[in-house]
Structure 1
Amino acid sequence: MGSTVIAIPDREDVAPKEKKKFRDFFLPIISFVREVDSKYDLRKLIHSIKVGVALVSVSLLYLLDPLYKQVGENAMWAIMTVVVIFEFYAGATLSKGLNRGIGTILGGGLGCLAAAFAQDVGGIGNSIVVGTSVFISGAAATYIRLVPRIKKRYEYGAMIFILTFNLVVVSGLRAEEVMQLARERLTTIVMGFVICIFISLLVFPIWAGDELHDSLTSKFEHLARSIEGCLEEYFKVDTDKENRPGFSFSSCKSVLHSKAKDESLANFARWEPWHGKFRLSYPWKKYLKIGEVLRDMAANVLSVKGCLQYPRQSLQNLRASIKEPCEIVGSSLAWALRELGESIKKMNKCETAAFIMPKLKSIRHELNLIITPSALAGVEKSTDALELASFVFSLMEMVDKVEELTKEVEELGGLAGFRANSK
């Protein structure tokens, strides 16, 4: 009778399998952590945790019997308040919370008066008073919320006013019961608001002002690199263009498309209290003005993109003849932008501002010499002369924008109280 030999794996064979199972178990967790760290940003994770804590805190009004006996079903309004007003930035949370509070108080108060007056009229006049008051308040509040200045900061409050007024007036309850119901709901809304503000402002706050400040200073560096890269691409020879990839305008385009984000951050920043280096009534409008000039300059840089697509040999020679002065211009513009951006970033007065303006004037003089009629007389083709003139005029536009930026940054330093550089 033959015997069957069964191979028994030793420890060395088993260990790799166990390691593989262990690795496969934790691989999704590790990949998730990496994704959170790289893609979503740590601040978004913190915000999500803060919202969860706020919801748990406000849910205690339902979970704890002593609190539930005090507020009853009105605890739902506290939970709704947390869900609605808790935003990513502290300024946005404060803005929506105050808008909701003001809209609720005004809408509830006027709604109670209208309901009481309708009850006093009685009969068919009750319905007429309710309908008329709803029409007047809804139409007036809607018109006001469409005004641009009101829409930016108080649109949510106007919407809450309309909603609260209609709910109170159309409820049909007696005036005493309306007042009691409004008081109970307002109390729970205030509870939700206080919890949101406490967690948003005191627990790892995320400030819109800091975001706007960092975003603005980064734009100076983006444009400086774009100018340097654009000039490098412009003066490449054909062999270099074949061996190396072309210049990317992605950072410049991000500056150009930043208007909506800047305006939103500035609106939230105006609501924020004194924090860190940003005091009350900080000149955020000046940030928007500087951002507008930077976007204009980004458009000028992008306009040079068409000048980069001329591979003819005649243009290569022509470009080589103006390479040195243009590179001096580009390096000077990049230097000026970095100095201005560093001044805003560190909130120091730009010590080199006195040198920037004279240097820009000398740069403009050098550019004027490049496109004089005598300098363009030797150009054989009119298209070549047009391309050269277009490129130089774009550089001159950039010089003008840097001059404007220098003035705006100096004004910002005066309004914001930038300190003198300690160097």
Structure 2
Amino acid sequence: MAFEGLSNRLQETIKKITGKGKVSEQDVKTMAREVRLALLEADVNFKVVRSFINDIKERAIGQEVMESLTPGQQVIKIVQEELTNLMGGEQSKIAVSDRPPTVIMMSGLQGAGKTTTTGKLANLLRKQYNKSPLLVACDIYRPAAIKQLQTLGKQLDMPVFEMGTDVSPVEISKKAIEYAKQEHHDYVLIDTAGRLHVDDTLMQELEDVKAEVKPDEIFLVVDAMTGQDAVNVAESFNEHLDITGVVLTKLDGDTRGGAALSIKAVTDTPIKFIGMGEKLDELEEFHPERMASRILGMGDVLTLIEKAQANIDEKQAKELEEKMRTMSFTFDDFLEQMSQVKQMGPLEDLLAMIPGANKMKGMKNVQFDEKQLISVEAIIQSMTKAERQDPSLMNASRKKRIAKGSGTNVSQVNRLLKQFNEMKKMMKQMTNMQKGKKGKGFQLPFM
């Protein structure tokens, strides 16, 4: 998970100061030193780190903390605000042209995920904003790139404009915009050529495309896994193109997060979107304040709500709530709910968005076993409709049949049945919590 090392280190450092009735100047200096080491280990630019630490120390030693009744909480608030400012302060929204279509020029080096990100962005614009994007294939040096964009277009059921490899990218871009106007497309996403490294030929071509089509946005796609190299690439592209936004890919991987914390400060260019997975719906708008909260273990409820709204059917959710209250929740409901939750992303990431979840008893080191999740689905799908509706029908021979059909064993089937019953009881208890009844802890079948 992105920022995991940095997040753990910062949370441990700040925890030492939180419980103190008073915070001394020496406490602040000690905390600042630990935070500095955490940021450097996360591959944050050293100049950015120095400035960040100075800002925290200046504010933390000031009156607002020293005279506060809860100095530890004030320090956390300062660190959160400074982290937010470091990443841009507030969300930088995508530009919209007064005279459609809005033209977005996608740039970046090979291997950063530029073409896939172009498809993801088009998908986001259509799903989230109900827009009609046109994908444009301008990487004439790699026929495979044109083919890749066409494949993405088919997957998304979205048009792709291409003129092969014998026409210049400038001409293709110009014709694509004319076509978009005729066909009433709201956005034109130009997938330009990449290189293995920055060179004059590439930059000249991109400058020519920019001069011809005058894009509303110029996005640079960079791989967050490359750390400070991503910042260096951003500086080079910005120097030639005056990029208007950065898209960080692979932020879901084992990345130290230094690029996300350095790019805005070094290039003065905002991060607009972040790639959180390989699927075409795993591109998110970047919110600095939400990311700062995630890093500090304070959760990210707004993003969690947005994911739920995008992936969970409201009518089904209301029906499910009623079933929980009446204890009529079945394995069919459970299977449907699992499917919808899986669409929201990895379970560890969803847990990280719940404020305080990492501090809850028994939750800090919870591991979600995706293989076990597949086994759970296989067991439920091996049941008959009657068995899924009424698990009390299960006898030894039925359990044996289900185990054989799902490639599991009887003890796994028994464990799932037991956990399912515990979960139903817990749901009943949750509805009674208003009356002062306490619920008992339980484990989901895939934890």
Same structural fold, with TM-score higher than 0.5 when normalized by the shorter chain: no
Q: Which structure has greater helix proportion? A: 1
| Higher gyration radius (CA) | 1
Task: Tell me the TM-score normalised to structure 1 length.
Answer: 0.25
TM-score when normalising by structure 2: 0.24
